[in-house]
Structure 1
Amino acid sequence: MNDWHSWAALAVFVGTYTLIISEKIHRVAAALGGAALMLAIGATDDKSAFYSEHAGIDWNVIFLLLGMMMIVGVLKQTGMFEYLAIWAVKRARAQPFRVMVMLIVITACASALLDNVTTVLLIAPVTLLVCERLGLPAAPFLIAEVLASNIGGTATLVGDPPNIIIASRAGLSFNAFLVHLAPLCALLIVVLIALCRVMFRKTFVYDEGRAEEIMALEEREAIRDPRLMTQGLIVLALVVAGFVLHPVLHYEPSVVALLGAGLLVAISTAETGDVLKEVEWPTLAFFAGLFIMIGGLIETGVIGEISKSLANAIGDNELGGSMLLLGASAVLSGIVDNIPYVATMAPITADLVENIGGGSDHVMWWALALGADLGGNATAIGASANVVVLGIAERNRQPITFWQFTRYGLIVTAVTVAISALYIWLRYFALA
């Protein structure tokens, strides 16, 4: 980092991150302003920012979000989310903690099959309606779901974008992720439920009057347009199938989502303008700015220097290296989005594995995946799902501040990463 561009890029990133944390200006303004400064100082340029696969805007993420937001926008018009909200509350007997447990489990399971961003886009509207019906603050429920989505997404190859990068680089299969990470993630969800019971204990206030009102409702009456709902669910099922069949079809999730959105708008009676109004445009702009800023750090070698320092510290010590990689990835993924971090770290991890003779059961790769995926829970901008839910909450006048999310995220991250470290030690070293 002898080039002044490196230090300038780091200063811009730290300054922007400080503004996001302080919330003195809106996070979208901060991210776009930081991106503009990165371009102005020459830390990155238009070709890198808009066209580079590794150091530019990740258009796959942007268009995946756009497509899924449009599908959700159509489904909102049908009354389906109101139906699901009433159904969920009635099954939980209107007990707030039972409702949270149900939403956590549903979110985690869905995130393992879909990606975590798609899952929170579908679950968040239901959650807002549930909380409105029960007279409860939505923030604790939304935060719990985001944490669950990032943990659940860790379990499979398709659950979190960093896993796709890792699988491609390491030659790992869908079943390999299931065998090595799914058992741990199931345990971590149980731990998350226990933590939520303690962290959000003041939220679980039972209102007998509201409970009786909800139990008397007939959820079927909430459906306003059965035909549109059927069309929407068919398209959503096709999109989910496209996600799951990615290894066979070779269509990127963003392409599948856009095809689904286009098909649904074309065959339904939904007005295109109304559908586009449901898109979280500020969230997409925030991601664009964040990607450009991180691209500046990549282009100037800042992230590369950090990764190389980590590689030098690891050497050929597989156990120590796995623990260091797990911890460092968790910390760094809480600061920068885990997608560009894993893209940068994957080739270095491949070198580390080669230096130690191939490693045992791909333990270094599992350490990278666990650190990056679980570390995304640490802060409000650590993972894509976090940013999406904050945008949805703000749009529905239930804002979640950076620190409100982060003070819970840090606790969950610390506990889940510690358990993951114990899991790695037991499975791949102590009991191997």
Structure 2
Amino acid sequence: MGRFHLKIWQIMLGGALAVLLTGQIAPADAFHAVDADVMIFLFGMFVVGEALVSGGYLSCIAHRFFAGVKNPDRLVLCILFGAGILSALLMNDTLAVIGTPLVLALAAGRRISKKLLLLTLAFAITTGSVMSPIGNPQNLLIALHSGMASPFITFAVYLAVPTLACLGITYGVLRWTCRDDFQPRGWEEQPAPACDARKMIPAQVALAVILVLTLANVVASLVTVTMPVSLPLIAIGAALPVLILSEDRTAILRSIDWCTLVFFAAMFVLMASVWQTGFFQSMATDGMFTSVPALLGTSVVISQFISNVPFVALFQPLVQQAGSGTARLMALAAGSTIAGNLTILGAASNVIIIQNAEKQGETLTFFEFLKVGLPLTIIQIVIFAGWLAVVG
């Protein structure tokens, strides 16, 4: 806006302050609107993500994983499935922060287009995060507010297969739209990063806690159809080893993404105020919620204007009021998430990737992203619609 550059968290905070100061929502209602479970979960996952980076554990894992990958095709496939599956466990915004410098280093060492690997990372973490209740914030909102007894099982049954298919399709679309960037241009051996085993222990323990507690939930869901360990408890359980054992706990706490936490707190206040007006309820039609293809399309389009997390915060109650069933909730999760593959503005993780890339002199333009994202999103909508029609 002129000479002023406003960040997304500042815009959302301004909206929340506006409705508070103008009396559109009472302070008590605003306080209760902030979802403590979501805030606790995000805080815990941000602590773990920062520990993985600062302790050097992620760099060591990445070097071992990519050391022998010289061919551009193999590298893109490894990033797609590696980052995609990892985002289902660590949340896509976390992977956006820690993955950007990694792919830029890989591109420089292998003389591959940096734009190609940035696009690959963005599409990988957006698409891969669809299949898990902890893969992204909007899935977390759906899992926590829908009353699902076993969200890990539900998301896996409805969304794992099409998500893996979409990751494979993403490679094909990248290969088609960016074919010139797949030409090999030489390769240089990269030195192994310095790995301090003692500093990596807290991050290793945190990652093990996430895996063990997630597995315990999955097993328990199969036996009792309940989730014994809540999602916020998983995140806090993983963050505690870092906060207790790490010598760098103060630096980690300073470095976590506090702005995103402010964004979510403000979003809850603003969306609660908007919900009280009945504006979106009056615009919504039954066709939006009873048809899976319509819900997928609506989610993708509207998320471009208000981003996917606020969209889910507003529309999930409408989907549930319509009594639309699990398949429609999964369509809401899938549509609002793959909206991030259409344009840069569709997901916060895209903005995070570009902001981090610009610090190192690289970027992606709106049309560079759209050139790949438009055909990719259309194909992915068809895949998810077809699968949900079968299982729903």
TM-score range relative to shorter protein: 0.7 to 0.9
SS at match of 2:49: helix
Q: Aligned partners of 2:89, 2:44: CA distance in 1, in Å? A: 18
**How far did residue 233 of structure 1 move?**
0.8
Partner of 1:15: none
Q: 2:378 aligns with which of 414, 421, 424?
A: 414
Partner of 2:222: none
* Pairing 1:371-390 to 2, within 5 Å after superposition: 371-390=335-354
Partner of 1:26: 6
- 8 Å CA contact 1:390–1:400 kept in 2: the answer is yes
Q: Under a length normalisation based on structure 2, what TM-score does the superposition of the two structures give?
A: 0.80
- 8 Å CA contact 1:116–1:385 kept in 2: the answer is yes
For 2:384, give the aligned amino acid.
S
**How far did residue 397 of structure 1 move?**
5.1
Partner of 2:230: 251
TM-aligned CA distance change 1:182 to 1:23, over 3 Å = farther
Q: 1:47 aligns with which of 28, 32, 39?
A: 28
Verify: 1:207 aligned to 2:185, yes or no. Answer: yes
Q: Aligned partners of 1:418, 1:373: CA distance in 2, in Å? A: 14
Q: Aligned partners of 1:379, 1:388: CA distance in 2, in Å? A: 13
Partner of 1:6: none
Query: Residue deviations 1:287-313, cap 9 Å, x none?
Result: 45555444443233223333xx222x4
Query: Residue deviations 1:36-64, cap 9 Å, x none?
Result: 43434444454344431xxx4x5544544
TM-aligned CA distance change 1:372 to 1:25, over 3 Å = same
Gaps of 5+ in 2: 218-225
Q: 1:110 aligns with which of 67, 86, 91?
A: 86
Give the length in aligned residue pairs.
381
TM-aligned CA distance change 1:290 to 1:392, over 3 Å = farther
Q: Aligned partners of 1:402, 1:42: CA distance in 2, in Å? A: 37
TM-aligned CA distance change 1:274 to 1:346, over 3 Å = closer
- 8 Å CA contact 1:74–1:275 kept in 2: the answer is yes
* Pairing 1:167-206 to 2, within 5 Å after superposition: 169=146, 171=148, 173=150, 174-204=152-182, 206=184
TM-aligned CA distance change 1:97 to 1:42, over 3 Å = farther
Verify: 1:71 aligned to 2:48, yes or no. Answer: yes
- 8 Å CA contact 2:92–2:349 kept in 1: the answer is yes
SS at match of 1:207: coil
Q: Aligned partners of 2:306, 2:317: CA distance in 1, in Å? A: 18
Q: 1:91 aligns with which of 31, 53, 68?
A: 68
* Pairing 1:298-377 to 2, within 5 Å after superposition: 298-306=275-283, 309-311=284-286, 313=287, 321-353=291-323, 362-377=326-341
Partner of 1:13: none
> Percent of aligned pairs with the same residue?
25
Q: Aligned partners of 2:4, 2:264: CA distance in 1, in Å? A: 19
* Pairing 1:136-151 to 2, within 5 Å after superposition: 136=112, 138-151=114-127
SS at match of 1:197: helix
Q: Aligned partners of 1:292, 1:44: CA distance in 2, in Å? A: 8
Verify: 1:127 aligned to 2:93, yes or no. Answer: no
Q: Under a length normalisation based on structure 1, what TM-score does the superposition of the two structures give?
A: 0.73
Partner of 1:3: none
TM-aligned CA distance change 1:44 to 1:134, over 3 Å = farther
Q: Aligned partners of 1:48, 1:396: CA distance in 2, in Å? A: 43
For 1:27, give the aligned amino acid.
K
Q: Aligned partners of 2:108, 2:128: CA distance in 1, in Å? A: 26
**How far did residue 92 of structure 1 move?**
1.4
- 8 Å CA contact 1:158–1:243 kept in 2: the answer is no
Query: Residue deviations 1:43-102, cap 9 Å, x none?
Result: 4454344431xxx4x554454444333333333344334333433443212x33321210
Q: Aligned partners of 1:261, 1:325: CA distance in 2, in Å? A: 36
Q: Aligned partners of 1:397, 1:277: CA distance in 2, in Å? A: 25
Partner of 1:11: none
TM-aligned CA distance change 1:162 to 1:276, over 3 Å = closer
SS at match of 2:67: helix
TM-aligned CA distance change 1:170 to 1:414, over 3 Å = farther
- 8 Å CA contact 2:308–2:337 kept in 1: the answer is yes
TM-aligned CA distance change 1:139 to 1:266, over 3 Å = farther
SS at match of 2:75: helix
